[in-house]
């Protein structure tokens, strides 16, 4: 697997600090030209400053790399398009998009306002959609693209007080599932990264001793693999503290009960069998669920 990014152009959102900064530095160190995007807001999305993005650009240039700063919000459609246009004007193409920008507005669901729910979805989910939509036609035309969505263990498995964040992050997995299918014929590979890393978004949430083991640098190798020429496609890669895992949305073998007035009670009686994970599989697309169910029905009816 080649991890040389010479000649590649990458956009990294939320790259003014934390994990995004490490992503940008690593790509630049391996030869990529990097757009360092960061609104410069606080963790809840308020405020804004270009200082953080400019500082990362200065780091990259001091090390001999090429980079430019951009301070638009990932939710600003016109701003994002202008960012992509600027990258193309300077470097001719965009090969890699790392959707990393995000915010936190944590509260239990009972106390969370709909405004805070919508805002977190807007930044994480729609922000990734906006950025991906802006680079998609370029990647189709050039027959090459690597897109990394930043999901989370909260989306995959849940965490108290983060219903908005979890919904947004699992939404990115769903987005990846379809885009990885649609982009395949153009060699656009779309994957998800679920990082466990200590950043300003985790300060005050996790004990310091644990934070010390969760350096953002430990997550970067997973991003590099998914952004590389030989990247996988449609993979959810988990990374943290030097460990790496994969997550899958699976389907059990289940049971066929047919139709009738008593199916609800019969289903309730065999739920242990329905949820039994022995023989579960990862469908290659959503159609496979329907094929599985119809196949069972036809077999039961002698078809």
Burial class (CB in 10 A: 0-12, 13-18, 19+), 111: exposed
144 is catalytic: no
Instruction: Please check whether residue 147 is in contact with residue 180, taking contact to mean a CB–CB distance below 8 angstroms.
Output: no
CA distance 107 to 166: 12
The neighbouring-strand residues paired with 37 are: 70
The tokens of 115 are what?
Answer: 């405004």
Q: Parallel, antiparallel, or unpaired: how do β-strands 243-247 and 145-150 relate?
A: unpaired
Cα–Cα dist 300/239, whole Å = 43
Beta strand pairing call for 236-240 and 243-247: antiparallel
Count other C-beta atoms under 10 Å from residue 27's C-beta: 28
Cα–Cα distances in angstroms (integers) from residue 169 to residues 37, 103, 120, 235, 253, in the given order? 20, 11, 10, 15, 27
Distance of CA 140 to the CA centre of its chain: 20
Spatial CB neighbours of 22, under 8 Å, sequence gap ≥ 6: 216, 217, 219, 220
Among 165, 195, 220, 234, the active-site one is 165
CA distances from 191 to 178, 229, 237, 245, 286 (A): 11, 13, 8, 14, 17
- Residues 234, 199: contact at Cβ < 8 Å? no
Active-site residues, by number, are: 165
């Amino acid at each position: 697997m080649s991890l040389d990014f010479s000649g590649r152009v990458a956009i990294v959102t939320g790259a003014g600090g934390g994990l995004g900064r490490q992503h940008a530095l690593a790509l630049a160190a391996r030869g990529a030209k990097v757009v360092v995007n960061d609104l410069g807001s606080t963790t809840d999305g308020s405020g804004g400053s270009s200082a953080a993005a400019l500082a990362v650009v200065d780091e990259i240039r001091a090390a001999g790399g090429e980079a430019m700063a951009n301070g638009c919000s990932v939710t600003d459609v016109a701003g994002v398009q202008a960012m992509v246009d600027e990258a193309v004007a300077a470097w001719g193409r965009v090969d890699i998009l790392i959707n990393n920008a995000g915010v936190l507005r944590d509260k239990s669901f009972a106390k969370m306002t709909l405004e805070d729910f919508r805002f977190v979805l807007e930044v994480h989910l729609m922000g990734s959609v906006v950025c991906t939509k802006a680079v998609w036609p370029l990647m189709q035309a050039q027959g090459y693209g690597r897109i990394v969505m930043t999901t989370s263990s909260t989306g995959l498995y849940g965490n108290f007080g983060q219903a908005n964040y979890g919904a947004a992050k699992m939404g990115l997995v769903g987005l990846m599932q379809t885009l990885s299918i649609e982009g395949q014929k153009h060699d656009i590979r779309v994957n998800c990264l679920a990082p466990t890393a200590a950043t300003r978004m985790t300060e005050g949430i996790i004990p310091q001793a644990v934070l010390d083991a969760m350096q953002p640098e430990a997550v970067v190798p997973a991003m590099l693999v998914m952004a590389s020429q030989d990247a996988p496609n449609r993979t959810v890669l988990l990374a943290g503290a030097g460990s790496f895992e994969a997550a899958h949305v699976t389907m059990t073998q289940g049971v066929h009960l047919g139709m009738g007035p008593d199916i609800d009670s019969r289903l309730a009686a065999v739920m242990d069998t329905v949820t039994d994970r022995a023989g579960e599989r990862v469908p290659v697309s959503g159609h496979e669920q329907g094929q599985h169910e119809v196949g069972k029905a036809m077999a039961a009816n002698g078809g």
